[in-house]
Amino acid sequence: MRAGFWMAVRPLLAKFHRMVAGEINWVEALQAADNAAVLGELRAILLNGLRISLRDRHEVSEAHLEDFAQEALLKILERLNQFSGRSKFTTWAHSIAINTAFTELRRKRWRDVSLDALLADGRELNEPATMADDTFGDDQERVRLVAVLRKAIAEKLSDKQRAAIAGSLEGLPFDQIVGLLGTNRNAAYKLVHDARRALKQHLMDAGISLETIRTTFAE
């Protein structure tokens, strides 16, 4: 009986030890059959992070934050196998939550979007609130990549190039971007192609390896 008792209690003690030590294996815990408690804990972490990150967005209500956190949680569960361990799990999860929130906020603007709004979104691409230094992980090279990328967006691209890329990131139909920019499809394609090439070259000139660039944006 004693052996059976310790067999039953040992997993609970191990879980308690991980929680006390602050070393929760999030991937393992989320993949477990009885993951309700850890799901609730991660959701609370995401919600708190979203409140802080979006505190200046007056159009965002608590209901919006709840929706963003819930949708981000679903995406995180779908992408658990993509977590590489190069950053803290909560940092990785928070970047998904922030991207989810900004994507949803931008989608709401599709119907009423204007050229001025698209240009404003382009200017925001180099702002820390939109692209945090640890967006792609907290290892040194990736943090530097984001800093260099923000600087390149601000200094190497024209207003229309930034607007075109912002529109693409927002998911606007390409023909809508073309119309807002007052150009044609061929000119718009060239605009985006030249912008991407300029950003890639600037990153390489800054000493960031092509492999890091490819790996970062693939993830």
CATH number at residue 80: 1.10.1740
Q: 3-state DSSP helix/strand/coil percent for the chain, to nearest 5?
A: 75, 0, 25
Give a yes or no: residue 214 inside a domain: yes
* CB-side neighbour CA atoms (13 Å) of 6: 2
Count how many domains the chain has: 2
Q: Is residue 6 part of a domain?
A: no
CB 87 within 8 Å of CB 137: yes
d(CA 167, CA 174): 8
- Domain boundary pick from 108, 136, 155: 108
What's the predicted TM-score (pTM) here?
0.48
Residues 42 and 134 in one domain: no
Q: Which domain holds residue 70?
A: 27-108
Nearest C-alpha neighbor of 93 from the set 102, 82, 103: 82
Co-location of 219 and 116 in the same domain? yes
Given 108, 126, 151, the domain boundary residue is 108
Q: How many whole angstroms separate alpha carbon 177 and alpha carbon 165? A: 9
Whole-number Å distance between alpha carbons of 197 and 61: 38
Do both 123 and 212 map to the same domain? yes
Q: Compute the average pLDDT of residues 34-61.
A: 90
User: pLDDT of 62-108, one tens digit each?
Assistant: 999 999 999 999 999 999 988 888 888 998 999 999 989 987 887 66
Residues 139 and 200 in one domain: yes
> How many Cβ atoms from other residues are within 10 Å of residue 24's Cβ?
17
